[in-house]
Chain A
Amino acid sequence: MSSAIANDVPLLSVKDLVVDFKTRAGNARVLDHVSLDIKAGKILGIVGESGCGKSMTALSIMGLVPNPPGKITSGSISLNGRELTDLSEEQLCDVRGSEIGMIFQEPMTSLNPVFTVGEQIAESVRLHEKASKQAAMARAVDMLKAVDIPEPEIRARAYPHQLSGGMRQRVMIAMALACRPTLLIADEPTTALDATVQAQIFDLLQDLQRDTGTAIVLITHDMGAIAELADDVAVMYAGRIIETGSVSNVLSQPQHPYTQGLITCVPHLVPDPPIEREVLREIPGMVPALTNLGAGCAFEPRCEKAFARCKAEKPALLQISESQFGACWVLEEESA
């Protein structure tokens, strides 16, 4: 697809992105110097506790940060070499849907209940391309077929409420793909779906990435999904990326105490469970308010490895190996 770009140049490059929100309790730094790269045809996973800024990262890339109360304070977002933070609303609207597609968490709220799903997909085709009504509708049916919906001609005439949750999510994917985007952002696309339906959706994303070279940002809380789908992963905490790298490195040798906690506090499904059950490891406490983060590491109050320096200064991302970075003073001390 994007053969114009050399293989090692990222398709999307976010650098030092800072997003602030005005709140009654003061300024909330929702994204604090977030940087990430994704190459064409790759899947980048983003994980982290609720409120850590995963969706806001996605919205920033789409140019959809609600303003006011929010705003992109500094940093750059470049897609295919073009800077997105400078674009007008009109230009951004063009980028969305033609170059970037997005799937949201709750399909029911992003589909319009009064139009058939076929009409909605056709409409998004016509918004970005000059196509006749009939051609757009034919394309909608093709897309429904591509996302594995049985009897696509008939389903195209169905209203959202007449479809199951899994089918609605597939309609959302069809809509996001109708304009053949080079980047797809999927924000928790399978929450509330059961495991078999979730697997169907993930298969679809994987096929897409393999067959069309679309790059995907996959936001999820499911470490298993990251392991089986993503190439790289970024772990966020309180508005910052605290660990990032290749999936195999980060999951098998997590370096940051928060990433370690995230992996060990989940009861993982195993084929041969022990008869004696162990107490789950906990990460005590909870996420701090973004309005008073203090000078130190945001994870310090919950961290069992914390020492004096953690309270005083924020650790920056440090390269640990060729494809792994972590932001923690323990790593800094070890490497010194």
Chain B
Amino acid sequence: MSANKDLVVKDLKVHFGGGKKLLSGRKPTVHAVDGVSFTIPAGKTFGVVGESGSGKTTTALAIMRLVDITDGSVTLGDTQISALKKDELRAARSRFQIIFQDPFSSLDPRKRAGEIVRQPLDLMSIGTPSERAAAVSELFEQVGLRPEQQHLFPHQFSGGQRQRIGLARALSTRPDLIVCDEPVSALDVAIQAQILNLMSTLQKELGLTYLFISHDLGVVQHICDEIAVMYLGQIVEQADRVTLFKNPKHPYTKALLEAVPTVHGNKRDRSQRTRLHGDPPSPINLPKACRFASRCPRAESRCHNDIPPLEENDAGHKVACFFA
């Protein structure tokens, strides 16, 4: 099959609020995602990292059509997800699925594990009942759960096992794309390794495309092919996994990488690092210049006046900084 299954996100904007409130006038607009573009080639893993509140989850939800898109487009293969009407959307959902950070709250506590995994098939009327039952058994095997565990309830599983159920549910409709928002952050490191290895194996077997959001840069470096760094609703740097860590160019990316403590580090290394001070500006009153300027150790007057565009070099490394 040569069908194009790339995910293409173009100039995505998600703004919250801004509507008219009856008495108090206009609600302030939160520019959660403010002009984000990227492409994930089919079968690859694209990582999104960045400041808390920079719009990573909102980007993921917009791609899934779980929040309203203010502007821009999301296309998976030949399907423009962002333009689908309600019933078309329901049918298309089989092709893109999401797994969340918290394997505890994202599973219905009253349903048995087998039923949870079968639910998307039921909802989209995929296959006959006996085909669905066979599919569920196969999914359990694929994610490393035993067949008799289909009859247990979520609370009878450990955190790692619950994340396996979440994965099996996401895989049930044979999707092309799985959006993963902090999929291993709630897990112990030992269990995290099991899930990351499982995700890699499944990707190879099934040709899955992953959008992978995480605060853990070691995990992102391990699992992603290409990585975007977000700050206040925008991508400020993007490169492949080797280049980004070897040759970070944006001052925010550098600060982010320097902030990560490593097992090879010690107290002295720590005291020699540069630090970011203060907090990011509010996504309501955005500076009309470089959004990082107020905290940037390199900033000059130009940074406080103009907006640096996201520019790409020959090697495909993108950076939004006047001095990169």
B67-78: CB near A (< 8 Å → 1, else 0) gives: 000000000000
Contact A262 to B189, CB < 8 A, known contacts A273-B241, A273-B242: yes
* Neighbouring A residues of B242 by C-beta, 8 Å: 272-273, 275
The smallest C-beta distance from B322 to any residue of chain A, in angstroms, reads: 21
* Neighbouring B residues of A192 by C-beta, 8 Å: 52, 185, 215
By secondary structure, the A interface counts as loop
* Neighbouring B residues of A277 by C-beta, 8 Å: 200, 222
* Neighbouring A residues of B50 by C-beta, 8 Å: 194
The smallest C-beta distance from A31 to any residue of chain B, in angstroms, reads: 19
Closest to B264 in A: A227
* Neighbouring A residues of B257 by C-beta, 8 Å: 269, 271
Q: Flag if A195 contacts B260 (CB, 8 Å).
A: yes
Question: Which of these, A198, A226, A227, A272, contacts B259 with CB under 8 Å?
Answer: A198
> Which B272-286 residues sit within 8 Å CB-CB of chain A?
273, 275-279
* Neighbouring A residues of B241 by C-beta, 8 Å: 273
Contact A266 to B52, CB < 8 A, known contacts A221-B188, A272-B246, A286-B191: no
* Neighbouring B residues of A165 by C-beta, 8 Å: 52
Question: Which of these, A221, A222, A275, contacts B261 with CB under 8 Å?
Answer: A222
Question: Which of these, A221, A263, A273, A281, contacts B263 with CB under 8 Å?
Answer: A263
Judge whether A261 is part of the interface by a CB distance below 8 angstroms: yes
* Neighbouring B residues of A49 by C-beta, 8 Å: 188, 190
Judge whether A35 is part of the interface by a CB distance below 8 angstroms: no
By secondary structure, the B interface counts as helix
CA distance A281 to B193 in the complex (A): 7
Judge whether A283 is part of the interface by a CB distance below 8 angstroms: yes
Question: Which of these, B52, B221, B246, B267, contacts A267 with CB under 8 Å?
Answer: B221
Question: Which of these, A262, A271, A286, contacts B160 with CB under 8 Å?
Answer: A286
* Neighbouring A residues of B219 by C-beta, 8 Å: 267
CA distance A29 to B76 in the complex (A): 52
Q: Flag if A283 contacts B193 (CB, 8 Å).
A: yes
Question: Which of these, B53, B221, B264, contacts A273 with CB under 8 Å?
Answer: B221
Question: Which of these, A222, A270, A275, A279, contacts B221 with CB under 8 Å?
Answer: A270
Question: Could you list 7 further interchain pairs (A-B, Cβ under 8 angstroms) beyond the known A228-B266, A262-B190, A266-B193?
Answer: A164-B52, A165-B52, A192-B215, A267-B218, A273-B221, A282-B193, A286-B160
Q: Report B's interface with A, CB cutoff 8 A.
A: 50-53, 158-161, 185, 188-194, 196-197, 200, 215, 217-219, 221-223, 241-242, 245-246, 255-267, 269-271, 273, 275-279
Listed by A's residue number, 7 A-B pairs whose Cβ atoms lie within 8 Å are A266-B192, A268-B218, A268-B262, A269-B262, A279-B197, A282-B190, A287-B158
